[in-house]
Structure formats: structure tokens, C-alpha cells
Structure 1
Amino acid sequence: MSISNKYSRFISILSLILFVSNELCLCMPSKLLNATLNGEAFSPAVATWYGSPTGSGSGGACGLENDVIYAPYNGMISAGNGNLFRSGAGCGTCFMVKCTNNPACSGYPIRVTITDECPGLCNNDRIHFDLSGKAFGFLAKPGRGDELRKAGRIDVQYTSVQCHYDSKIAVKMDAGCNAYYIAMAVENVNGDGEINRIEISAQGWKPWASMQRKWGETWIFNVPSGTTGPFSVRFTDRSSRSVVAYNLIPRNWAPGKKYYSNINLP
């Protein structure tokens, strides 16, 4: 073998190693690596993709709008059928997905967050991920994303995992809010990713008041007359773990604004 051929082979192998390392670091915390690479932990499902071929999808029915384009989601998201979306309760949950049955599949798992609903025909399958074009392409071997996307519908394997974001819980105020009505979407939730209960308290209140889920990750509260904030918010996940973000929503809060806490779930 000539020196040039040896060099080319070395570069190809090195590129593959770097791709795999990047994929695993981008989509999966190291402490989940061993568990999620164990094939016995995965179950069968179906995956399709929507939007532009390399697009980031949308926050759709979960109320996250275009925030899914940016960190910590970075477009690695999916719409889910009824068994994943669960009438909005599944918003924010995280899964590892991998494909092995197509020649273009890398066989390595990616982590995606449920941020939208895939209704209709998606419910003909028990579990159906409708991935962003970007996420779908990340299931492929280097340089073969377009080839895999051409398949349209593929068999995949999936497993539920804990969410781990390098970010704090944030709330985005709905554009239709006013002084007497708060509606906010919750983002970047670690752990289960699934918020089961939210309570709110204004400065000077002693009891916590319950907010109501309106749709997806959007929760609402009718503000008592004369209440101005700031508001503290207590988040409780599916596993009954709670954290409190004190004075998260400032006194001068405004519709459409996003407010970051200094806490997150484990």
C-alpha cells in the first residue's frame, strides 16, 4: 500500500472517530453512555421527519415556538404520536433514538426532546417519532444524511432517558398575557423533563396557588386584582421532586419575554 493510500485511510478512520465522539458528546451525557448503548434497553418504534432537510423543527403543540432552534435544544427535537405526546404531558421528555436497519444508519443513538405532537397517521404506530430534519440526519453515517432522509420512514429503536441540559429552567410569557392573566411556557427542565404541577406565589402571599396546564408546556393563572409581583414559581415533576424559583417573574414582567431561574431539577 502506498504512503498516500495509508494516509487517506488514516484520515478516514480519524474522521469517523471524531464524528462518533462528537455525536455522543452532543446528544448524550457520559453517565448515560453505557446504559443507552446496551441494545436490551431499547424498544422498536418508527421515525419520519418533517420540515426542511436540515431544519430544527418547531415547538408547536408544546408552546416552545422557535426556541427549539437554540440551546439547549439545538434542533434535536421530535414531534410524538399520542403515546409520546400524552395530551401535552409528554412535552419536554427525552429519548435516545437510533437506527440500524438502513445501510445509511450509523447505529449510534441521538438524544431528542418531545416538543410537538404528530397526530393522525402517526397514531397508526404504537410509538412514532416525527423528527426534525436535522435530528433525522444525525441518525445517519457521516455524509449520508440525505440518503437516509430519502427513505422517509424508517424503523428505529428508542429508550426513555433523563434530560440533562446545561441551562436553568426558564419561562416564556405568552404574547396574550396581561396584568390579570399569566400564561407561560416552561423550558429546559432536567430530570423527567415532564412537569406535573406548577404553583405560583406573589410577594406577600403565604399560600401557593396552583396554575393550570392549558396546552403542552403552557400553564396559566388568573391573577387576583391588585397583585403585581414579583412571582415565585414552584415546579414539581412526574417523580414528585420540587424546586422553587424565587422571584422568577419580575414585578415589571412583559408579554413575550423570557425569564431564567437559577435552579433546575437533578
Structure 2
Amino acid sequence: MAAIRLSWFSLCLLQLLALFCYFELCFSFKTKHLGLSVVGTPWSSAGATWYGSPDGAGSDGGSCGYGKLVSQTPFSSMVTGISPSLYNSGKECGACYQVKCTKHPSCSGKPVRVVITDLCPGCLSESAHFDLSGTSFGAMALPGQEEKLRDAGVLEIRYSRVACDYSGKTIAFHVDQGSNSNYLATVVEFEEGDGDLGAVALKEGSSEEWRVMQQSWGAVWKLDAGSQLHPPFSIKLTSKYSGQTLVAKDVIPEGWKPGATYRSVVNYL
């Protein structure tokens, strides 16, 4: 009987252990993934136009501050200006959307992914409107009918917020030309997942204090220290959409230069 009781007791322990391990596995999985963005909104209607050259990137950079990157990989001219209601004073710079058209005969009906890189100042602030690059507008067309679609005028489209995917690129920081030993401004590039930022902070190499940076304009964040800053600089980024935070440790090194770009080893996905 003692052997039977021991066996029954051992079985109970094993069951409890299995339950505990299952709970830990699930809990660990959930806490690991709860921080990741769950970007995705229902399809909504908007107007769409295009600007710039038919096969171009709209403008050379746009109001978000990405400069010539808009025509280079991974943006690859698949970019858009956006109405003020979606631009949100530049806080949505870097956010990604899928857009598609179905009502024009030249529409393919297939969604294409675009990145917000510019403001459409002539678009109504209360309406959703995409002023797409010629490249991204034409990408909604049936093969060979890109020109016909671009001749359609204002097009009715459907749009949905989606996660950004930059094929494994890590976040980069392009230091503004006006930066100096007391003032640092940087364009934050290639945030995967949510794509946009709610807060940015900087920590000097000689300090444990995180100093809040302010959005200067578009995707440019600045810190006007008023006294000499001591590199290397770590940058802490907080996603606007999900609140997820990550740190690019010592990403801007000693001897940094205005106009240089420094790539981190981190990203949201």
C-alpha cells in the first residue's frame, strides 16, 4: 500500500509539475509577445492622388526628414504623403499602410505596402487622403495599366494600418547637420513593427540619466542640452502604437560627426 500511495503521490507531483511548466511556457510566451506590436486596423475608405514623376518617390525626402532614403532600399519609392489627420503633426512618420483600389478598370485589387514619409498640406485635414508617389500609385494597377490608373485623377481606395517590414534592417540614426557638442538632433530610420515613435530619450556615456528628447519635426528628434554632451550616446525608443521600448546602446560613438548615419543592432521585430 505504501508503494501504491508513493506512486499516486509521485503521479500527482508529475501532473502538478507538468501544469506548472505549461503555465510557465504560456506565460513566458505571452509576456514575450505582448510587447510586440499587434498592428492592423480594419479596411477604411480614402481618396488617393499621386505626385512627382510617374516612376519616382514623390519628393526628395518630404516633410518627415528621410531625405534621399525615400527612393532607396528598403523604401524603394513605395512611399506616400498623407492628410493632416493621419500625419498627426509628424508623429506618424514611418508608419506603414496597405492600400488597394478596386473600382477603376485598371485596378488590380491587390494591396501594396507604403510608408508615410511626407505631409499632403493640400489635403483636407478631416479626411483620410493618400498622396502617393508615382511608383506606389502605379503599383495598385493591373500589369501594363499603370499609366491609365495614374490618369484617373482622384481615386477611391481602401487602406489599413499594418506592421512595417524592412527585411531585417536595424534601426539607424542620421545625425542632423546642425548638431554640435551642446545640441543633438537625429532622424530615426527603419523602425519595424509599429513604425512610429511616441517618445525618444538619450543617455550620455558618463551618466545613468535618460534625458527626454523632443520631436523637432517629422522623424527628427532633438536634445538641446545647453551644456556639453559626453558621448557615446545610447538612445531609448518608445513605440507610439504599442508602447514597446528598446535601447540602442552606445549607438552614437565618441568622435561622431554631423551628417553621419549610425546603425544600431536592435529593432522592434
Specify the TM-score bucket, using the shorter chain as the normaliser: 0.7 to 0.9
For residue 110 of structure 2, what is the amino acid of its counterpart? Answer: Y
Deviation at 1:124, TM superposition (A): 6.4
What is the alpha-carbon distance in structure 1 between the residues aligned to residue 246 and residue 217 of structure 2? 22
What is the alpha-carbon distance in structure 2 between the residues aligned to residue 89 and residue 124 of structure 1? 15
The 3-state SS of whatever aligns with 2:68 is helix
> 1:262 aligned to 2:265?
yes
Mapping of residues 82-231 of structure 1, within 5 Å: 82-120=84-122, 122-123=123-124, 126-166=127-167, 167-223=169-225, 225-231=227-233
What is the alpha-carbon distance in structure 1 between the residues aligned to residue 66 and residue 221 of structure 2? 12
Deviation at 1:125, TM superposition (A): 6.3
**1:64-111 per-position Cα deviation (integer Å, ceiling 9, x unaligned):** 111111111111000000111011111111100000111111100000
Partner of 2:255: 252
Q: Where do 5+ consecutive residues of structure 2 fail to align?
A: 1-38
Higher-Rg member (1/2): 2
The 3-state SS of whatever aligns with 1:151 is coil
More displaced 10-residue stretch of structure 1: 62-71 or 218-227:
218-227
Q: Where do 5+ consecutive residues of structure 1 fail to align?
A: 1-34
For residue 114 of structure 2, what is the amino acid of its counterpart? Answer: V
Task: Tell me if structure 2 keeps the 8 A contact 1:95–1:158.
Answer: yes
The 3-state SS of whatever aligns with 1:114 is strand
The 3-state SS of whatever aligns with 2:248 is strand
**1:33-64 per-position Cα deviation (integer Å, ceiling 9, x unaligned):** xx99xxx9311111100000100124311111
Q: 2:68 aligns with which of 61, 66, 69?
A: 66
The 3-state SS of whatever aligns with 1:60 is coil
TM-score normalised by the chain length of structure 2: 0.81
What is the alpha-carbon distance in structure 1 between the residues aligned to residue 105 and residue 235 of structure 2? 48
Task: Tell me if structure 2 keeps the 8 A contact 1:234–1:243.
Answer: yes
Task: Tell me if structure 1 keeps the 8 A contact 2:171–2:188.
Answer: yes
Deviation at 1:206, TM superposition (A): 1.0
**1:128-164 per-position Cα deviation (integer Å, ceiling 9, x unaligned):** 0000000001010001111111112211001111112
For residue 131 of structure 1, what is the amino acid of its counterpart? Answer: L
Mapping of residues 16-95 of structure 1, within 5 Å: 41-58=42-59, 59-95=61-97
Runs of at least 4 residues of structure 1 off by over 2 A? 223-228
Partner of 2:239: 237
Task: Tell me if structure 1 keeps the 8 A contact 2:84–2:125.
Answer: no
The 3-state SS of whatever aligns with 1:75 is coil
| Count of aligned residue pairs for this structure pair | 228
What is the alpha-carbon distance in structure 2 between the residues aligned to residue 226 and residue 154 of structure 1? 52
What is the alpha-carbon distance in structure 2 between the residues aligned to residue 60 and residue 253 of structure 1? 26
Task: Tell me if structure 1 keeps the 8 A contact 2:206–2:230.
Answer: no
Residue 47 to residue 202, structure 1, CA distance change in 2 (3 Å): same
The 3-state SS of whatever aligns with 1:83 is helix
What is the alpha-carbon distance in structure 2 between the residues aligned to residue 118 and residue 171 of structure 1? 25
Partner of 1:20: none
What is the alpha-carbon distance in structure 2 between the residues aligned to residue 49 and residue 244 of structure 1? 37
Determine what percentage of the aligned residue pairs are the same residue: 42
Task: Tell me if structure 1 keeps the 8 A contact 2:53–2:134.
Answer: yes
The 3-state SS of whatever aligns with 1:44 is strand
For residue 158 of structure 2, what is the amino acid of its counterpart? Answer: Q
